[in-house]
Amino acid sequence: MKHKNRIYLVLEVKQREIDSRIIFSLKAANLGYSVVFCKKAYLEQKIKYFQKGVIILKSIGKKNHNFILKAKKYGHKICAFDEEGLLFHNPESYCKKRIPEKCLSELDLFFSWGEHDKNAIIKLYPNYHEKIKEVGNCRIELLKYPLNEIYKNQGNEIKKRYGKFVLVNTKFGYAGFTPAKKKFTIVDSLEKVLAIDETEKKFHQYILESQVKRRDDLINLFLIFEKKNNDIKFLVRPHQSEKITFWNEIENKIKNVKIIRDGQPSLAWMCAAQSIISFNCTTAIEGKFFNKNHLNYVPLDKNDFKIPNSINKNIYDIVELEKELVKDFYEEQHNDSSFNSDLNKNITNIKTDFVNNVCVHLNLLFKNFKIFKTDKYTNIISFSYFIFKRFFINFYYLRVRGSYNDSKTMLSAQKNPKTDLKEVKDKSKIFMKYLDIKDIKVKEIYPNIFCFEKKF
């Protein structure tokens, strides 16, 4: 049987990434590749059993260095992109933190969002300029026709259920940080772990202060509307890094606030919303593809990211925010769907296809790439063994050692809850219909490790 060239993808933040991982897998499988995606931990556990291929990591912070070396030892080619690479404040600090040289040097290729992050990387690491390829990001494919029709249709169903509402996409991970000891903030933690310099420390201190300010103002805004305009509902989608208990308390205290944690991308909710409040994050960019103008709340407006500020209406105080929300809610909206030049420079695949952009470069890597083996231990007996092995390991750490109750593990589980085969297949069927793709087989080759291939 002819073996297909294999691509491996990592799924870390399920709510944000799962749809784009499935889209990449379907499109690449339709081009003749075999594509696998799973959690990075599962990828590392089974790395010695996998068919040799190209692994595309979604970040290469310094903690990835050992994994990269391990994967290369088993014959894999390593590529990467940075899921957070669209927005950064200081180019040099961003590259040193997110793209350390010791990791970049081991890669075969690095895929940039666009011209902006590519130039930042090359400026700091000029010797690696040939490795940096502008391709965009697969999440952008979800925002373009025909896939954006899925979220528009889902948005119509949400409207039927909730009526008119204000959507709030939060970004308060720093503000919700729980210190290990008194007066030990997340900035102190970053300084200790990452050894950040004084300039970076000031920037992170600003992020902390701005998030606390924005979150406090948001709660005050809810209270104002509860008294003055309680017919206006707020649907809040907390960031994956935030504690659900905090938002549950807010929901219980304020009548016209509802917390939404459905584990799905925010796109359908943006399509359904009458107004959207964001806090200088990527959702304020994604909304432009649906002709949605965010009210971008930037009360301190000092070190915020440039792109969300340049393409949305910026609000600088709570009084103005209240006024604009009331106006948007009761009056006909006039949205601006234009894209500025900064957005086109920062995102390569606004007018091109991400998967095609990537595969052009992968084809060169696969040229003369010899495959010496297929996946090992993929029979039903081995599959059952791996399931029981994971069960007993989890039982031991949870019940015997109590190790899974720490905040780090709980946050990881919150960011990436279990994904099963039925969910992946159900989503794939919908996407294939809109993409007019047929005959893609989706299977689980190891527990929670999914493989996409076109049928022979």
Q: Which two tokens stand for residue 321?
A: 């925010």
Nearest CA among 85, 84, 95, 86 for reference residue 121:
95
Per-residue pLDDT at 445: 97
- Dump pLDDT digits (tens) for 328-340: 888 765 555 556 6
Per-residue pLDDT at 131: 97
- Give the class (CATH, top level) of 6-141+346-383+417-454: alpha beta
For a pLDDT cut of 90, what percent of the chain falls above it?
Answer: 67
Higher pLDDT, 139 or 262: 139
Cβ atoms < 10 Å from Cβ of 356? 13
Per-residue pLDDT at 456: 74
- Dump pLDDT digits (tens) for 159-208: 999 999 999 999 998 888 766 566 677 887 777 776 777 888 888 888 88
Band the pLDDT of 226: cuts 50, 70, 90.
Answer: very high
Per-residue pLDDT at 145: 95
* Spans of all domains in the chain: 6-141+346-383+417-454, 151-337
The residues with which 454 forms a beta bridge, in sequence order, are: 440
Select from 3.40.50.2000, 3.30.1330.10, 3.50.50.60, 3.40.50.300 the CATH code of 151-337.
3.40.50.2000
For residue 397, pLDDT over 90 is answered with no
| Alpha-carbon dihedral sign for residues 139, 299, 190, 198 | positive
The secondary structure of 258-278 as a DSSP string is EE---SS-SHHHHHH-SEEEE
**Distant-in-sequence contacts of 256-262, Cβ < 8 A, 24+ apart:** 256/222, 256/225, 256/226, 256/230, 256/231, 256/232, 257/222, 257/233, 258/233, 258/234, 260/235, 260/236, 261/237
Band the pLDDT of 401: cuts 50, 70, 90.
Answer: low
Q: Which two tokens stand for residue 54?
A: 């190209």
pTM for the model stands at 0.92
For residue 91, pLDDT over 60 is answered with yes
CA-based R_g, the chain, Å: 23
Per-residue pLDDT at 274: 93
> Would you call 169 helix, strand, or coil by DSSP?
strand
Q: Which two tokens stand for residue 138?
A: 């697969």
DSSP state of 233: E
Q: Residues 134, 118: contact at Cβ < 8 Å?
A: yes
For residue 416, pLDDT over 70 is answered with no
Asked if the domains at 6-141+346-383+417-454 and 151-337 fall in one CATH topology, the answer is yes
The Cα–Cα gap between 209 and 339 comes to: 31
**Distant-in-sequence contacts of 257-261, Cβ < 8 A, 24+ apart:** 257/222, 257/233, 258/233, 258/234, 260/235, 260/236, 261/237
Cβ atoms < 10 Å from Cβ of 48? 11
Band the pLDDT of 425: cuts 50, 70, 90.
Answer: very high
Band the pLDDT of 90: cuts 50, 70, 90.
Answer: confident
For a pLDDT cut of 70, what percent of the chain falls above it?
Answer: 90
Characterize the bridge pairing of strands 34-38 and 449-454.
Answer: antiparallel
The Cα–Cα gap between 177 and 198 comes to: 21
Lowest mean pLDDT among 117-131, 174-188, 278-292, 317-331: 174-188
Per-residue pLDDT at 399: 61
Band the pLDDT of 2: cuts 50, 70, 90.
Answer: low
The Cα–Cα gap between 39 and 31 comes to: 24
Nearest CA among 9, 35, 138, 22 for reference residue 429:
22
